Chains A and B, each alone.
Chain A
Amino acid sequence: MSYALYRRGGPGLRLVTIVGLVLFVVWSAAPVVWLILSSLLQQKALIARPPDLSPANLTLDNFVTVVASAAALGRGILNSLIVALFSTAVALALGAPAAYALARLSVPRANAIAFLVLATQMLPSIAIAIPLFLVISRIGLIDNVFSLGVVYLSFNLPIVIWILRGFFLGIPAGLEKAAAIDGAGVLRTFWHIVLPISIPPLGAAAVFAFVEAWNEFFFALILTRQSAQTVPLVIAAFAGQYQTVFGQMMAAALISVVPVIVLAVVFRDWIVRGFADGMMKG
């Protein structure tokens, strides 16, 4: 529904719209609010039914405990940053030209190749876990953040290619023709004409790839030991066989999502424009 339609509509339509939006915001924000609340409550308040939210139960102890034993969390955040930035940067560097080629150049069976790229995502992680572990183990790169980053490329690269391919398909042909008339080759056109107007979708793809890498758990579990552990593993450590320390787990989770939230806030315009462009033109 457009804003104009909303303005023209009667009070009934406006009320329904507002109620719908409020419900949507509550639905979306509830998990985050609960995350924050849980991180500030004692375990016994959390396990009560209903949870005892009285101010007497509010505490910063969970944060104090998590920060006091911050070596693992700090190392986890640093590792996640390295892995996510590395795989995102390489995915963009390789994915953008690949997407451009599949979208704009005369590549034989470009659509089939694009679907083949997508098809790699259809394999369940467990199916490739052992071969992957074997290869990485044989070359001595278990517990290495860069080998983990390379593995993450296997799912980040297709994402980047598909997001950018959608955008590149919508670029007016006249732009490339004008560049060709001025003597620009394919590479120069890509570098000087196409990339500068592709910043929003590049940003969107980057944020998406970063978040995927930041949250990944399974490969991090099997391919790391102690030194390359990423944030999801550190957070999972608060859930043991016999005891789950919910408050501390939520405090650690809250601390660990800060970089992602900052990223999303800083690049929110690019994300929205990038995905909108990709969807409309793809």
Chain B
Amino acid sequence: MSIQMSRRGMLQAAAAAGAAAALPFGLSSHAAAEEALTVFGPLPPDPAPPGAAKFSEAAFEAWKKAHGASVTYDLLAWPQLHDRMATAFASGSAPWDVIYMCGWVPEFVSFLTPFADELPKSLVDDLPASSFETVTWQGKRYGAIFTLSLLTLFYNKEHLAEVGFNEAPKNWDEFKRATKELTRNGRFGFVANYGDPAGIGGTASYWMAFLQQAGGKMYGEDGMPVFKSDAGVAALQMMMDLMAAGTDPGSISYASINDSTNVLLAGRASMMMNWPFMWNAAQDPAQSQIVGKLASAILPAGPAGSASIDGTDAWTVSKASKNPALARQLVEFYLDAEVQKRQALDTGWLPIRLSVLADPEVQQKLPNAAVVLEQAKHPYNSFVTPDFNQVTQAVGTEVQKALQGQKTAAQAIADASDLVTAIVKRRG
């Protein structure tokens, strides 16, 4: 087939091409194609972004329109996130611009860009300074936490009232006494999920909370473990004492927080350390038998005071992103005060912005917000490293042995220290 073109036709085509080239850049790019971003994160009800979870949807549409952007969500059930991410990164084929992380920043740091160093000062000033600890590596900030998710104490106030406690235990001694006295009538004073040694929320991370309450820390300035100390042993001994006082024996086999949460929601235990998500779940009659009976408080203080660990739900930007600036702007949108407020009110996931946490409407809807805010005034280091999984596997396994009476606290901590020292040395 031949195409014939007249001289007038050629002139018209040339004029059209010239006009298109003369259009302002923004307009011509709008006409050509939208800037595309891909976000990798967890499926709701785990902490998911606007448009994936049901909040701030209109604002999200407006943001996309204003930025000429299309955003594709690649969402996966939380327990599978790490495996898919690890495979994609290891093969050099991670297709995402914005990536959810949960304590994995040091592990994947070579694939991320330190975008958080460029966040506006007004935003950074409204975030808890310590929220950056788990997303900072070698002095650079690679992520931004978007929900304040700290372990606090949740308790059945009806059970506590029955044994004469009008408020939550405030220190270790009260904690042990309450656990013992609450263990009656076929229920247990305390429940935990000690079944999985590794990761945030694993056995080792619970011990890390007690460790900080005892005044200890995991690593010294040189990066070597320093937890073979009185504080390390005292922290484990506290867990063992709680076990003996009346921790649900099933705790040693409950592998996820779901399992132990269900025990509390069924009224079969009276206290547990849990994340803020629990508040809404406990108020849902379809899944809870303790509606209206739950209260929360900061974790009981050890010799050094209260302390917790950080759930570290963060957004990061991939080094391979073709639109890193736009990706950063999307994270800024996720952290916008109004979006954060809707996140709290509509999904129950607490905001990270201090101004929103202090918002009366948020505190009224989520009474545990004030408690978490108070908990945030105390240390909450999760001690994440590139080999966090190996470290917590090693420590958690030793803690489990002690909890099962196979080792003394001192012996388990000494063995854990040897294992972690070897891991750190391998890291170099």
Q: Hey, which bits of chain A sit against chain B, CB under 8 A?
A: 42-44, 47-49, 61, 129-130, 133-134, 137-138, 142, 221-222, 225-226, 233, 236-244
Pick from A61, A129, A240: contact of B42, CB below 8 A.
A240
Pick from B74, B75, B275, B287: contact of A242, CB below 8 A.
B275
Pick from A61, A137, A239: contact of B93, CB below 8 A.
A137
B83 touching A242, Cβ below 8 Å: no
Beyond the given pairs A239-B79, A240-B43, 6 more chain A to chain B contacts, judged by CB atoms under 8 angstroms and listed by A's residue number, are: A44-B286, A222-B83, A233-B76, A233-B80, A237-B77, A241-B46
Among A61, A142, A222, A243: residue with most chain B CB under 10 A? A243
Chain A residues positioned under 8 Å from B74 (CB to CB): 225-226
Query: Does B69 lie at the interface of the complex (its beta carbon under 8 Å from any beta carbon of A)?
Result: no
Query: Does B87 lie at the interface of the complex (its beta carbon under 8 Å from any beta carbon of A)?
Result: yes
A243 touching B87, Cβ below 8 Å: no
Chain B residues positioned under 8 Å from A142 (CB to CB): 93, 95
A42 touching B286, Cβ below 8 Å: yes
A90 and B170 CA atoms in complex are apart in Å by 66
Q: B254-288: contact bitstring with A at CB < 8 Å (1 yes, 0 no)? A: 00111001110110100000010110010001111
Among B78, B87, B261: residue with most chain A CB under 10 A? B87
B77 touching A240, Cβ below 8 Å: yes
A133 touching B87, Cβ below 8 Å: yes
3 tightest CB-CB pairs across the interface, nearest first? A241-B78, A43-B287, A137-B93
A242 touching B45, Cβ below 8 Å: yes
Query: Does B244 lie at the interface of the complex (its beta carbon under 8 Å from any beta carbon of A)?
Result: no
Chain B residues positioned under 8 Å from A61 (CB to CB): 286
Known: A44-B289, A134-B93, A137-B91. Contact between A240 and B46, CB under 8 A?
yes
A48 and B321 CA atoms in complex are apart in Å by 47
A243 nearest CB across to chain B (Å): 6
A44 touching B79, Cβ below 8 Å: no
A61 nearest CB across to chain B (Å): 8
A125 nearest CB across to chain B (Å): 11
B266 touching A240, Cβ below 8 Å: no
B91 touching A240, Cβ below 8 Å: no
A45 nearest CB across to chain B (Å): 9
Known: A44-B265, A129-B87, A134-B91. Contact between A241 and B42, CB under 8 A?
yes
Chain B residues positioned under 8 Å from A44 (CB to CB): 265-266, 285-289
A35 and B281 CA atoms in complex are apart in Å by 23
Chain B residues positioned under 8 Å from A226 (CB to CB): 74-75
B46 touching A242, Cβ below 8 Å: yes
Chain B residues positioned under 8 Å from A243 (CB to CB): 45-46, 258, 261, 277, 281
Give 26 pairs: A residue, B residue, CB < 8 Å, sorted on A.
A42-B287, A44-B285, A47-B287, A49-B268, A61-B286, A130-B91, A134-B93, A137-B91, A221-B76, A221-B83, A225-B74, A233-B76, A236-B79, A237-B77, A238-B77, A239-B77, A239-B79, A240-B42, A240-B78, A241-B42, A241-B78, A242-B45, A242-B258, A242-B275, A242-B281, A243-B277
A218 nearest CB across to chain B (Å): 8
Q: B39-65: contact bitstring with A at CB < 8 Å (1 yes, 0 no)? A: 000110110000000000000000000
A133 touching B88, Cβ below 8 Å: yes
B84 touching A221, Cβ below 8 Å: yes
Query: Does B90 lie at the interface of the complex (its beta carbon under 8 Å from any beta carbon of A)?
Result: yes
A130 touching B90, Cβ below 8 Å: yes
B231 nearest CB across to chain A (Å): 29
Known: A134-B93, A237-B43, A243-B45. Contact between A43 and B286, CB under 8 A?
yes
The residue in chain A whose Cβ has the minimal distance to the Cβ of B75 is A226
The residue in chain B whose Cβ has the minimal distance to the Cβ of A129 is B87
The residue in chain B whose Cβ has the minimal distance to the Cβ of A218 is B83
A142 and B38 CA atoms in complex are apart in Å by 15
Residues of B109-154 whose CB lies within 8 A of A: none
Pick from A47, A137, A236, A240: contact of B262, CB below 8 A.
A47
Chain A residues positioned under 8 Å from B87 (CB to CB): 129-130, 133, 222
B311 nearest CB across to chain A (Å): 9
B266 touching A49, Cβ below 8 Å: yes
B160 nearest CB across to chain A (Å): 21
Chain B residues positioned under 8 Å from A43 (CB to CB): 286-287
Chain B residues positioned under 8 Å from A47 (CB to CB): 262-263, 265-266, 287
Chain A residues positioned under 8 Å from B256 (CB to CB): 244
A239 and B76 CA atoms in complex are apart in Å by 10
B79 touching A241, Cβ below 8 Å: yes
B80 touching A236, Cβ below 8 Å: yes
A202 and B387 CA atoms in complex are apart in Å by 48
Chain A residues positioned under 8 Å from B92 (CB to CB): 134
B281 touching A48, Cβ below 8 Å: no
A225 and B45 CA atoms in complex are apart in Å by 19
The residue in chain B whose Cβ has the minimal distance to the Cβ of A51 is B266
B353 nearest CB across to chain A (Å): 21
The residue in chain A whose Cβ has the minimal distance to the Cβ of B38 is A225
Chain B residues positioned under 8 Å from A134 (CB to CB): 91-93
Chain A residues positioned under 8 Å from B95 (CB to CB): 142
B350 nearest CB across to chain A (Å): 13
Chain A residues positioned under 8 Å from B83 (CB to CB): 221-222
The residue in chain A whose Cβ has the minimal distance to the Cβ of B44 is A240
Chain A residues positioned under 8 Å from B75 (CB to CB): 226
Known: A47-B266, A241-B46. Contact between A221 and B93, CB under 8 A?
no
A97 and B77 CA atoms in complex are apart in Å by 41
Among A47, A130, A138: residue with most chain B CB under 10 A? A47
Pick from A49, A137, A242: contact of B257, CB below 8 A.
A242
Residues of B176-214 whose CB lies within 8 A of A: 201
B47 nearest CB across to chain A (Å): 8
Chain A residues positioned under 8 Å from B275 (CB to CB): 242
A142 and B84 CA atoms in complex are apart in Å by 12
Chain B residues positioned under 8 Å from A130 (CB to CB): 87, 90-91
Chain A residues positioned under 8 Å from B201 (CB to CB): 241
Chain B residues positioned under 8 Å from A233 (CB to CB): 76-77, 80
A50 nearest CB across to chain B (Å): 11
A221 and B86 CA atoms in complex are apart in Å by 12
B87 nearest CB across to chain A (Å): 4
Among B75, B95, B262: residue with most chain A CB under 10 A? B262
B405 nearest CB across to chain A (Å): 24
A129 and B89 CA atoms in complex are apart in Å by 12
A238 and B44 CA atoms in complex are apart in Å by 10
Chain B residues positioned under 8 Å from A49 (CB to CB): 266, 268
